Structure 1
Amino acid sequence: MKICFVLNDIATETCGTSVAIMTKAHQRGHTVLVMSVGGFSFHYDSPIGLNCIQVLKTTKLTTSKKFLKHLQSKKRKKKMIMADEVDVLFIRNNPTEEASGRKWAEQAGIAFGRMMQQAGVLVLNDAYALSHAFIDKLYFEELPQCIKPASIITRKKEDILEFWEKQKKKMVLKPLEGSGGEHVYLIDEHEKNVNQIIKTITEQGYVIAQEYLPDIKNGDVRILLMNGRLIERDGKHAMIRRKMCKGEFRSNFRQGATAETVELTPEMKKIIELTAPKLIQDGLFFVGLDVVKDKLIEINVLSPGGLDHFHEIGYPDFTDEVIDAIEKKLHYKRLYGKQLSNRVLATME
């Protein structure tokens, strides 16, 4: 297959989940195309153009680090590929990670993805599902309340302070649109600058005030789902505990968290079972869940990560399973043509 990956910017990409999946696709003999989100080109009487770097099948790249180095080499030249030459578009750019001054980039991947989907390209995750879940922390609120901590979403200081009082003066504040643990605050009764923090964070946009879960002291668990199911290989599950470093309450890898193994509990199974129907219905193929004991605290649908950390706990990186699934979807698409919608194919096993 010919698969194109959409990134925020090739030049600034790091060696994470996207690169791990690209590397595996390349190693399995597929034609891998990689583009920055600014590389789309539309003309009314021709297919959408994709300004890509094509990784030649003959190039030997044994690790993700070597793949990324090859991709970012100044020797690599981009070329325009027409959308009708591509089998799969995998949208992996993360709008919440865009730098200031790049407002145009936030929805571009999804918008052009919708157009390519209409033209018959298999798009993952489904582009219309990504549009619906564009603010994934708001999409999170559509899930059953029994698996979520108490929370409010607002820009009103009085409402946040009232919620704080109800939570016995201990809550987590985070921006509605954000990732990687940036601008996330733990506000307890000892916080002297609560009003200033609320003012600062609400000036940036909507805020989530969320119930503090004491079990977060043990870190959270990143669970990776595919087609609404927990990814599994040889009895090992795509789950990893993110243990925060000393003096830190955020359990993001970017904030210094370390990886630990974790067992699948009945509470986690329940969260997956209650989340899956929504993900399958909406066409969300590859999704990350962040769980603390029996509560889901976040859902990641735009560009979920974590595959690049499984080697730290002696687990496989599960990229074979991701490529297997994409190959199967493309096979069904070729057999059934337009009888199966992109949304159905996106979560079909």
Structure 2
Amino acid sequence: MKICFVISDLNKEVVGTSVVLLKKAHELGHTALVMDVGGFNFVHGSPVDIRCKSVPKNIAYDSPEEFLEKMQGEDIPWKVISSNELDVLFVRNNPTEESESRHWAEHSGLAFARMIQQQGVLVLNDANAMAHSFVDKMYFEELPQNIKPKSVVTRNKDVILDFWKNSNKEIVLKPLEGSGGQSIYLIGKQKHNFNQIVNSLIAKGYVIAQEFLPEVSKGDVRVILMNGKILTKEGQPALIRRINRDEDEFRSNLALGASAEKAEMTPEIERIVQLTGPKLIRDGFFFVGLDVVKDKLIEINCMSPGGLSYTEEIGLPDFTDVVIKAIERKVEYRKVHKDGISNRELATLD
């Protein structure tokens, strides 16, 4: 299998889910490639070309960090190949994390991925599904209301103020487009800096106001789904509890200093997955992250869910081989059925 991972910028990449999946694909004997989102080239009438690096067969490393360092080094050259040579394009860059100076990178990866998908290459997640859910938080609003906190999406300050008054005067504000815990604010009963915060968020786009869940102070649980079901290995589910760095921090992002530990399955998590899984399967989402606080789903990551690089250090199995082997099966299905199964259907077949 020849699989290429699309990331934002290899030189700025850190060890995370994309890196450990790339490494595992190589270790399982596949041709594993990686490319920046800016590495697509298109000439009308020809397949899309991609500028990528291939993991050398003889690469030696003792850790994921050393593996990444070698992939970033000049000893491994960039090369240009036709996307028609690929079996799989795994789109892992997160458009919502791009800076203003890289505005071009927000939509371009999905646009090229759709073209490559039309060529017959398996694209994960399904490119049309990712385009539909480009703003994760709006796709989140399509999910059943009874498993989510109350919320409103707006650019109207008065609407936010009314929502605050009707939500026990405790809400969370965040930009509709954004991730990684950036620009997220808790507005409490004292309404500190309300005007300043709202004005700064509205200036950048739409704002989502969400009722504050007190339980969030204890952290949340990242639930990793594959094919619409909880990713599982050796009977253990991929559930990662993210614990806030201190009791005053309500954001549980690992990138912001939260710690991770193994989480237990609960009836509430099972119910949330039962209610979201069918929609994810229908829409073509192979690999997704859900963030859960007690019995509420607070966020969904359809573009580049993380967490797999932490599992072994918290006592969970290494799930990366399960993910890669699931992709292997999809490639085999494609060879057998050719165009008989759409990319969207194939993306979530077990």
Which TM-score bucket, shorter chain as reference? Answer: over 0.9
1:27-78 deviation line (CA, Å, top 9, x unaligned): 1111111100000000113211000111122323453212211111022211
Bigger drift between 149-158 and 66-75 goes to: 66-75
Bigger drift between 290-299 and 257-266 goes to: 257-266
Other-structure match for 2:28:
28
Other-structure match for 1:173:
173
Cα deviation, residue 334, structure 1: 0.3
Other-structure match for 1:267:
268
Other-structure match for 2:329:
328
Cα deviation, residue 217, structure 1: 1.6
Cα deviation, residue 99, structure 1: 1.9
SS of residue in 2 equivalent to 1:209: strand
SS of residue in 2 equivalent to 1:287: strand
SS of residue in 2 equivalent to 1:270: helix
SS of residue in 2 equivalent to 1:24: helix
**Counterpart Cα distance in 1 of 2:314 and 2:59:** 30
Other-structure match for 2:290:
289
Other-structure match for 1:6:
6
Percent identity for Structure 1 against Structure 2: 56
Cα deviation, residue 316, structure 1: 1.6
Other-structure match for 1:223:
223
Other-structure match for 1:107:
107
Instruction: Report if aligned partners of 1:30, 1:57 keep a CA contact under 8 Å in 2.
Output: no
Other-structure match for 1:211:
211
Cα deviation, residue 113, structure 1: 0.5
**Counterpart Cα distance in 2 of 1:273 and 1:149:** 18
Instruction: Report if aligned partners of 2:175, 2:207 keep a CA contact under 8 Å in 1.
Output: yes
Look up the equivalent residue of 2:310 and give its one-letter code: H
Other-structure match for 2:56:
56
Instruction: Report if aligned partners of 1:174, 1:207 keep a CA contact under 8 Å in 2.
Output: yes
**Counterpart Cα distance in 1 of 2:174 and 2:20:** 29
Aligned pairs for 1:47-126 (under 5 A) are 47-126=47-126
**Counterpart Cα distance in 2 of 1:185 and 1:78:** 41
Cα deviation, residue 165, structure 1: 0.2
Cα deviation, residue 193, structure 1: 1.1
SS of residue in 2 equivalent to 1:278: helix
Instruction: Report if aligned partners of 2:225, 2:289 keep a CA contact under 8 Å in 1.
Output: yes
Matched length? 349
Instruction: Report if aligned partners of 1:23, 1:63 keep a CA contact under 8 Å in 2.
Output: no
TM normalised by structure 1 equals 0.98
SS of residue in 2 equivalent to 1:43: coil
Cα deviation, residue 11, structure 1: 0.8
**Counterpart Cα distance in 2 of 1:303 and 1:63:** 22
SS of residue in 2 equivalent to 1:298: strand
Instruction: Report if aligned partners of 1:90, 1:123 keep a CA contact under 8 Å in 2.
Output: yes
Look up the equivalent residue of 1:123 and give its one-letter code: V
SS of residue in 1 equivalent to 2:109: helix
TM normalised by structure 2 equals 0.98
Look up the equivalent residue of 1:264 and give its one-letter code: M
Other-structure match for 2:315:
314
Query: Structure 1 stretches of 5 or more lacking a match?
Result: none
Cα deviation, residue 201, structure 1: 1.1
Look up the equivalent residue of 2:256 and give its one-letter code: Q
Cα deviation, residue 116, structure 1: 0.5
Instruction: Report if aligned partners of 1:5, 1:90 keep a CA contact under 8 Å in 2.
Output: yes
Look up the equivalent residue of 1:9 and give its one-letter code: D
1:200-254 deviation line (CA, Å, top 9, x unaligned): 1111111110011111121000000000000111121100110001131111011
**Counterpart Cα distance in 2 of 1:8 and 1:144:** 32
Other-structure match for 1:343:
344
SS of residue in 1 equivalent to 2:123: strand
Aligned pairs for 1:244-263 (under 5 A) are 244-246=244-246, 247-263=248-264
Look up the equivalent residue of 1:265 and give its one-letter code: T
**Counterpart Cα distance in 2 of 1:229 and 1:327:** 18
1:131-158 deviation line (CA, Å, top 9, x unaligned): 0000010000011101011000001000
1:5-30 deviation line (CA, Å, top 9, x unaligned): 10101111110000010000011111
Other-structure match for 2:243:
243
SS of residue in 2 equivalent to 1:58: coil
**Counterpart Cα distance in 2 of 1:74 and 1:309:** 28
Query: Structure 2 stretches of 5 or more lacking a match?
Result: none
Cα deviation, residue 192, structure 1: 2.5
**Counterpart Cα distance in 1 of 2:207 and 2:50:** 36
Instruction: Report if aligned partners of 2:124, 2:286 keep a CA contact under 8 Å in 1.
Output: yes
SS of residue in 2 equivalent to 1:152: strand
**Counterpart Cα distance in 2 of 1:261 and 1:49:** 41
**Counterpart Cα distance in 2 of 1:64 and 1:107:** 29
Other-structure match for 2:150:
150
SS of residue in 2 equivalent to 1:46: coil
Instruction: Report if aligned partners of 2:217, 2:249 keep a CA contact under 8 Å in 1.
Output: no
SS of residue in 2 equivalent to 1:159: helix
